[in-house]
Amino acid sequence: MANKNLAQAKNAKNDEFYTQYEDIQKEVNAYLEYNPDVFRDKTVLLPCDDPKWSNFTRFFAQNFERFGIKKLISTSYAPDSKKLKYGTFYGDFFIDDGTPQFDKEKAQTKGRIYILDKDINGDERIDINDLKWGYLEGDGDFNSNEVKELRNEADIIVTNPPFSLFREFISWIMEADKQFLIIGNMNAITYKEVFPLIKENRIWLGNGFNKGNAYFRVCVPREDYANGVYDFENQLVKFRNCCWFTNIDHGRRHQPLQLMTMADNLKHSKHKEIKGKTSYLHYDNYDAIEVPFTDAIPGDYDGIMGVPISFLDKYCPEQFEILGITQRNDDPYKTKKYTKEEYKNANDLNARGVIITNGIPKSIYARILIRKKQ
């Protein structure tokens, strides 16, 4: 148990990544362009967020009046609780900022709550200068009854939750049936807590990061990032597998993909896996064809297709329907299961779609099963 906890703490040290202001602005603007009143008269909750370190509170506070927000609530997690649960984090102590409500003991053990809902400094406008704060009764854990009450009060939840808690956090939101905009790892698409919601069109991917690259600020330099991932000068770490998850509508998701026919793909595709072949490969254990690239989806094919999970970044619900995912054994479109007598790695093969070439089975990374809408 001790080794397990140490491992969790070690992993969690890499779990706080601070979103850049411009990325928040770019994403939120996509929803405002589709619906200028998306935040009007709404209470917005920013859990897991302290304006001392995070840009979410700063962004929404500065745009409070422009967006027509009714109330902005932001909560933070107590430093001591973070250390006990996850290891050392940036911001493990609070320096006395001179405000009357500062309490040295509470600063370590209690979460903070920040509220913006009216002009308190008399300048006839509501902005970040009117942000008032105090201490929560507890440590600010989003699963506490105290923060759950704030969740229930809110209309929209926006934040960048710890990646290690994404499953728990998305369930926490859906439990209250709230609108939300959060950041997560793209692999979260395959989670059993997430994919059914995507399939049912209850959540989808947001507008996205610039060219698919997400840059987060980290405050503890590390030496174990690969070359080109971490910039020591500006303390930014680069991720290519991050995306926004939401149930707030935006225009991009209603733009259909422009696709070639199957014949044209086989003749002109830029991908060697497609170009020059006589047909698309067919799974041995699914009644579906393998489409390894989103831009290689044949626009005239009426059957089931297995496409990369990154397809969801360009998914238009009016163009395709989502049927399932090859990641799990219980998918209704699975046509067969393998036994150990057939293949030594039968368990691995049964987890995903399989292509057999020259008698050798090869499992394919998780694929979303889609079909063109008529």
Least confident among 18-27, 161-170, 321-330, 336-345: 321-330
* Domain co-membership, 116 together with 240: yes
* Domain co-membership, 247 together with 274: no
* Domain co-membership, 230 together with 310: no
* Domain co-membership, 338 together with 198: no
| Cα–Cα distance measured from residue 93 to residue 90, given in angstroms and rounded to the nearest whole number | 8
| Most confident listed range (70-79, 176-185, 350-359) | 176-185
Per-residue pLDDT, 56: 95
* Domain co-membership, 128 together with 235: yes
Neighbours of 239 (CB within 10 A): 18
pLDDT at 286 over 90: yes
Range of the structural domain that residue 327 is part of: 262-372
* Domain co-membership, 247 together with 302: no
Share of residues in the chain with pLDDT > 90 (%): 67
Per-residue pLDDT, 91: 47
Least confident among 135-149, 157-171, 209-223, 238-252: 209-223
* Domain co-membership, 65 together with 199: yes
Q: Which of 205, 230, 254 is the last residue of a domain?
A: 254
| Cα–Cα distance measured from residue 50 to residue 55, given in angstroms and rounded to the nearest whole number | 8
The pLDDT of 316-338, averaged and rounded, is 89
Cβ proximity of 361 and 284 under 8 Å: yes
* Domain co-membership, 274 together with 360: yes
| Cα–Cα distance measured from residue 236 to residue 215, given in angstroms and rounded to the nearest whole number | 6
| Cα–Cα distance measured from residue 370 to residue 259, given in angstroms and rounded to the nearest whole number | 15
How many domains are contained in the chain? 2
* Domain co-membership, 216 together with 324: no
Per-residue pLDDT, 241: 85
207 alpha-carbon distance from chain centroid: 11
Q: Which of 223, 254, 285 is the last residue of a domain?
A: 254
Q: What is the torsional sign of CA 308, 253, 206, 188?
A: negative
pLDDT at 9 over 90: no
- Selected residue with higher pLDDT from 162 and 57: 57
Cβ proximity of 354 and 363 under 8 Å: yes
* Domain co-membership, 241 together with 173: yes
Q: How confident is the model at residue 329 (pLDDT cuts 50, 70, 90)?
A: low
Comparing C-alpha atoms, which of 154, 138, 124 is closest to residue 60?
A: 154
* Domain co-membership, 273 together with 320: yes
| Cα–Cα distance measured from residue 335 to residue 46, given in angstroms and rounded to the nearest whole number | 44
Q: Which of 207, 235, 254 is the last residue of a domain?
A: 254
* Domain co-membership, 288 together with 158: no
Per-residue pLDDT, 54: 83
Per-residue pLDDT, 97: 61
Mean pLDDT, the chain, rounded, equals 87
| Cα–Cα distance measured from residue 159 to residue 319, given in angstroms and rounded to the nearest whole number | 30
Per-residue pLDDT, 86: 46
